[in-house]
Structure 1
Amino acid sequence: MIEKRRAFPQGIHGFPVAPFDATGKLDIDALASNIQFLIDHRLKSIFIACGSGEFHALSRDEYRVMLETAVSVAAGRVPVYAGVGGNISHALELTAIAEQVGVDGYLILPPYLVQAEQPGLAHYYRTIAESTDLNAIIYQRDNAIFTLNTVCELAKIPQIVGFKDGYGNMELNIEFTKVVGDRFEWFNGMPFAEVTMPFYYAIGYRSYSSALSNYLPHISRLFYQSLSTGNQNLLDELYREVILPIHRIRKQRKGYAVALIKAGMEIVGLPVGRSVRAPLTSVEEEHYRELARIIEHAMTKYPRDSIFD
């Protein structure tokens, strides 16, 4: 067992969107409002310019501005992590920007397109993690699927504090968590993570990324509280009334992982707009109206002010 070296908070983590104005430019004020909203609702950290922040579509200047905004708004109240990744040269440029701006760490996204053998994956993640002294979280998904030996090798790197899984192989996750233990914080990064979180929680995952928290953060917190305290009746109710109905809409179109967040935020009055950058597409009106009905029902049945102070 490798002794744990650095701390990372457990719980629900916020992933702001990248708001765009009517001309397609990044809306900094809307971004700041999004970040402040997440912090006000007690999310444990801010992950800026990651998947929900349309990492794939940002210019270098936009990336820097998003990081600077997150650091400024957070003001040390919660840690700020930045998305880095793509090709290795690009990833290293972004880690340098992240370090200059003063974030607390970064989430290392999979390499760009290529399929690699385990030594190549290990080299990619090691190179990025060791390029600064910031905390790093490795992300398993798509073309970056690890073996136990690779995860154990990466666990020797002190900068790496966490492992985020977006692959969903529970047999593999059990092997990781039982062998590597608490050297890492284990982080559920599956699509609409509330859907799978009970399975992850049972094997030692205590953190997850919540798209839902961008517009219904009190539902995310109520869900996690029910899960951690064993309130199965309320947990089942939340699945039936809110989580699964939204998840069904999310699965209707590719790209809704981002677009549906922005739609939900507009419905609850957050000024981010519905625009997404190509190749993503906005939520269709039928699905938007359906989402609005679910959110209205959730806000009526589980009023925000009556659940948490």
Structure 2
Amino acid sequence: MSIVRKTPAGILGFPVAPMNSQGDLDIQALEKNIEFLIEEGLSSIFVGCGAGEFHALDQDEYKTMVETAISTAKGRVPVYTGVGGNIKSALAQAKVSEDLGAEGYLILPPYLIHPEQEGLYDYLSTIIGSTELNAIIYQRDNCVLTLETIQRLTDYPQLAGVKDGLGNMDLNIEITQTIGDRLDYLNGMPLAEVTMPAYVNLGFKSYSSAISNYIPHISAIFYDALLNQKKELLNELYQHVILPINRIRKQRKGYAVALIKAGMEIIGLPVGTAVRPPVIPVEKDHYQQLEQIIKVAFDRFPKEKKTINTI
């Protein structure tokens, strides 16, 4: 059976890594997180990535998270994994992902080193070529590729997409206009709802939404308003929900993870707010601010049952 070299479109679901009171992975909470995202209409599940505290998982926990995502999804949506870190670990994670039945993986940046382009090419091509799964490269931090390096990587049919977490629009235009439909383009900027208007016209058809873990109906309303040019509604969403959350997120490093768990606890998901070092939990004052914003989100933009749009 031939593999379709396409990545999921629309709003991508990135579950967290729930921890119990002993600091161990809480599988039942992870199942509820994933089920919630699927029931709310998210187009896919990306497990063991940044929001899933990839940096803090051991290999057994990683495998358990992938197994849980695939068994919970039951084929309803595609499951992608995060792979990365040192090359040996990344290759092992890629093999686990393939063996367990994932559709593809997002390649996270390597540890510590700020490599030359040739080093990044070797790193990425080794991982991409190691399985038949769809691969997505992630432009951010110490893994920023030139147009020429990405063009070389397109020789691998497994390469299906580029996720941007850098925000260099000049480079994004170079990539999308030169490579075109050979790849899919995903917005991974934090907070993605803040930046998505700048990405849509470049051909970015999907984005990872942190807030979808606790207010997915806002993500859905936002994306529909963006695609259908409902400017007044977009302005209200920005002023009352999206920008206030983004302001809190920027208060502390690590809130890109911790704030998600806080929001999930606020709406009643059994996740808890425990995070693993070096990430810190959300401070009380910021937690209370988030509570108020979430209340406004439900009061001002009532939840409706509908499918999330895609381009």
One fold, TM greater than 0.5? Answer: yes
Distance in 2, Cα, partners of 1:70 & 1:308 = 21
SS of the equivalent of 1:305 reads coil
1:62 matched to which residue of 2?
61
1:248 matched to which residue of 2?
247
Q: Aligned-pair RMSD on alpha carbons?
A: 1.3
Question: Are the aligned partners of 1:215 and 1:261 in contact in 2 as well (CA < 8 Å)?
Answer: yes
Give the letter for the 2:43 counterpart. K
1:139 matched to which residue of 2?
138
Give the letter for the 2:169 counterpart. M
Distance in 1, Cα, partners of 2:104 & 2:307 = 30
SS of the equivalent of 2:304 reads helix
Give 1:9 shift.
2.3
Give the letter for the 1:215 counterpart. Y
Distance in 1, Cα, partners of 2:155 & 2:194 = 32
1:219 and 2:218 aligned: yes
Question: Are the aligned partners of 2:19 and 2:26 in contact in 1 as well (CA < 8 Å)?
Answer: yes
1:187 matched to which residue of 2?
186
Q: TM-score, normalised by structure 2?
A: 0.96
Distance in 1, Cα, partners of 2:127 & 2:193 = 29
Distance in 2, Cα, partners of 1:306 & 1:192 = 24
Distance in 2, Cα, partners of 1:146 & 1:62 = 30
1:6 matched to which residue of 2?
5
Question: Are the aligned partners of 1:5 and 1:158 in contact in 2 as well (CA < 8 Å)?
Answer: no
Tell me how many residue pairs correspond in the alignment. 306
Give 1:5 shift.
6.3
1:41 matched to which residue of 2?
40
1:274 and 2:273 aligned: yes
Question: Are the aligned partners of 1:218 and 1:308 in contact in 2 as well (CA < 8 Å)?
Answer: no
Give 1:132 shift.
0.5
Give 1:153 shift.
0.9
Give the letter for the 1:58 counterpart. L
Q: TM-score, normalised by structure 1?
A: 0.97
CA-to-partner distance for each residue in 1:232-291, whole Å, 9 max, x for gaps? 111111000100000000000011000000000000011100000001110000000000
Give 1:48 shift.
0.1
Give the letter for the 1:148 counterpart. L
CA-to-partner distance for each residue in 1:18-75, whole Å, 9 max, x for gaps? 0000111100000000000000011111000000000000011110000000000111
Give the letter for the 2:158 counterpart. Q
**Which segments of 5 or more consecutive residues in structure 1 lack a partner in the other structure?**
none
CA-to-partner distance for each residue in 1:86-140, whole Å, 9 max, x for gaps? 0111101111111111111100011111111111111111100110001110001
Distance in 2, Cα, partners of 1:104 & 1:124 = 21
Give the fraction of aligned pairs with identical amino acids, expressed as a percent: 59
1:117 and 2:121 aligned: no
Residues 198-213 of structure 1 mapped to structure 2, 5 A cutoff: 198-213=197-212
Question: Are the aligned partners of 2:214 and 2:264 in contact in 1 as well (CA < 8 Å)?
Answer: yes
Give 1:305 shift.
3.0
Question: Are the aligned partners of 1:99 and 1:134 in contact in 2 as well (CA < 8 Å)?
Answer: yes
Give 1:306 shift.
6.9
Give 1:160 shift.
0.8
**Which segments of 5 or more consecutive residues in structure 2 lack a partner in the other structure?**
none
Give the letter for the 1:111 counterpart. P
1:176 matched to which residue of 2?
175
Give 1:7 shift.
2.0
1:153 and 2:152 aligned: yes
Question: Are the aligned partners of 1:162 and 1:187 in contact in 2 as well (CA < 8 Å)?
Answer: yes
Distance in 1, Cα, partners of 2:212 & 2:287 = 18
Question: Are the aligned partners of 1:139 and 1:164 in contact in 2 as well (CA < 8 Å)?
Answer: yes
CA-to-partner distance for each residue in 1:144-166, whole Å, 9 max, x for gaps? 11111111111121001110000
Give the letter for the 2:117 counterpart. Q
1:84 matched to which residue of 2?
83
SS of the equivalent of 1:131 reads coil
2:93 matched to which residue of 1?
94
Distance 1:287 1:135, change over 3 A: same
Distance in 1, Cα, partners of 2:176 & 2:257 = 29
Give 1:308 shift.
6.7
Question: Are the aligned partners of 2:41 and 2:307 in contact in 1 as well (CA < 8 Å)?
Answer: no
